[in-house]
Amino acid sequence: MRSYRASHNLIAVSANNAETAINTEQTLDTSLLAGMGDIFNLEPRRESNVEELTGKEEADNIYDLGGLCSGSLSFEKAQPQHFALLMAYGLGSISSVVAGAGYEHTITPISNDLDAYRSNPSMTVAQRFGKTVLKRRFASMFVDSFTASFAKDSWCKITGQLKGTGKAADNITEEVIAVTPGTDPFLIDTALTLASNAVEGSTAQTRLDNVQRVRVELTPGVWTDVAHTAVSDTTPAVITIESLSGNSTDSVNFEVLYIPTESGWMTFPSRITETPLRVSALTVKQGGAWDGSNFAGGRTLSSELSSIDWNFSNGFELDFTPGAGGTYASRAFRPARTQTLSVNREFRDYIWQQHIDDNDDFGVHLLAEGAAIDGSHNYQVELIFPKVAILNAPLAVDGKKLAEAGDFVVLEDDTYGSVIAKVKNLQATYAA
């Protein structure tokens, strides 16, 4: 039977190559081990005529203003590739070089805009809902925000929120078949032949499941569902339905909602597997300075550190610009990115409070390492924040210990910018 289990969902993206232009789909290259609750939805924009003079008390019509889309990607056991994907499309500028048997990807915030219609590169996303319910492809999805979380006794995590223009395509079609009865009163033939398509499925049951509805308009404006019992493996497909009787010799319309033989983007790519990163293998340094190639000095935070979260936001605005046509947005504009670090630790000293007193800034360095790629390189995620300041660090009690919650703002350094992210793995590129 048709599966509607969420565990059968799949998500695929164009991780390696960005779209060449807005609303121009790119080839899907990677399926993701995302969270079960990650869903990409269309967001229809509809308005009624409630404020117009209809001669009635209530609205009697709905206007279609197109739509947008949104979704999330959650990686609770994050691998380097997951960080690279969200950071490459979120920050927007990436360069990749060979690093031993793998590659090192350096990711930084993009300067200005990518082109006249996009502030950042965009990816194509596709999702399978259940097993045979629906596949949908979304063009021009942008990483609007993400949070990278590093909490004690846990996995490194990263979760991204995506916004899209609303351009989408489904693997489902609806076809109208006109049938003329032969007698009066008539008995409609029990076989409906599609115009040209076969129905997806290598078995009789799968093909039957992939015809999701058959209905008939025996009376004008009144549709009645019709049971269907078999679907042939021919092209075009023949659908066996229950026998129907009526009282007219006029042609009647059947509507068939089904999944045609799949092709192209509907075949999802394979998944890449890397070692998840653990927080126990994370090194965090506060203070010190980035010199363009190394993070020098600083103080290592270890057992006193409870968690650190990097919150990144682009704040995308999706616009329906004049002359673009279509029922989807035609521009994605980033007003201004913002970044913060939320850091929780045990209150063992006055260092953070002194930073507030001095109103100064300093560097922060995070390095999460995983399994070895070769003798000189590991799977890893490295984050360098050259200029950070503490806005507030209220004291509290956590169980039986004093605690300090630091609210750090990430600033833009004149030389090195706001953040430099480096990812090492076996993939040649991201968002290229």
Q: Is 287 helix (H, G, I), strand (E, B) or coil?
A: coil
Same domain, 283 and 314: yes
Question: For 136-145, what is the mean pLDDT?
Answer: 98
Percentage with pLDDT > 70 across the chain: 97
Question: For 83-108, what is the mean pLDDT?
Answer: 97
Same domain, 98 and 217: no
User: In the listed set 261, 286, 302, which residue is the last one of a domain according to the structure?
Assistant: 261
User: In the listed set 199, 231, 261, which residue is the last one of a domain according to the structure?
Assistant: 261
Q: Tell me the DSSP string of 184-200.
A: SS-EE-SEEE-SSPPBS
Copy the structure tokens of residue 249.
């010799």
Pairwise CA distance, residues 181 & 316, whole Å: 56
Pairwise CA distance, residues 42 & 35, whole Å: 19
- What's the confidence (pLDDT) of residue 189? 63
- Measured at the CA of 408, the angle between CA 404 and CA 414, to 5 degrees, comes to 150
Copy the structure tokens of residue 240.
């066996």
Same domain, 181 and 201: yes
Same domain, 275 and 221: no
Instruction: Report the amino acid identity of residue 73.
Output: L
Given a contact cutoff of 8 angstroms between Cβ atoms, the answer to whether 387 and 361 are in contact is yes
User: In the listed set 261, 291, 313, which residue is the last one of a domain according to the structure?
Assistant: 261
Same domain, 421 and 324: yes
- What's the confidence (pLDDT) of residue 250? 72
Question: For 60-66, what is the mean pLDDT?
Answer: 92
Q: At residue 240, does pLDDT exceed 60?
A: yes
Given a contact cutoff of 8 angstroms between Cβ atoms, the answer to whether 35 and 157 are in contact is no
Count of the separate structural domains present in the chain: 2
Question: For 266-294, what is the mean pLDDT?
Answer: 94
Same domain, 161 and 180: no
Q: Is 279 helix (H, G, I), strand (E, B) or coil?
A: helix
Q: Is 89 helix (H, G, I), strand (E, B) or coil?
A: helix
Classify residue 49 as exposed, middle or buried by CB count within 10 Å of its CB (0-12, 13-18, 19+). Answer: middle
Classify residue 327 as exposed, middle or buried by CB count within 10 Å of its CB (0-12, 13-18, 19+). Answer: middle
Is the torsion defined by CA of 164, 273, 313, 38 positive or negative? Answer: positive
Is the torsion defined by CA of 199, 203, 209, 214 positive or negative? Answer: positive
Q: At residue 373, does pLDDT exceed 70?
A: yes
- What's the confidence (pLDDT) of residue 105? 98
Same domain, 348 and 363: yes
Question: Residue 298 sits in which domain range?
Answer: 6-40+66-167+270-425
Q: At residue 251, does pLDDT exceed 90?
A: no
Residue 322: cis peptide before it, omega within 30 degrees of 0: no
Same domain, 204 and 138: no
pLDDT digits (tens, 9 = 90+) for 5-20: 889 999 999 999 999 9
Pairwise CA distance, residues 136 & 420, whole Å: 34
pTM of the model: 0.93
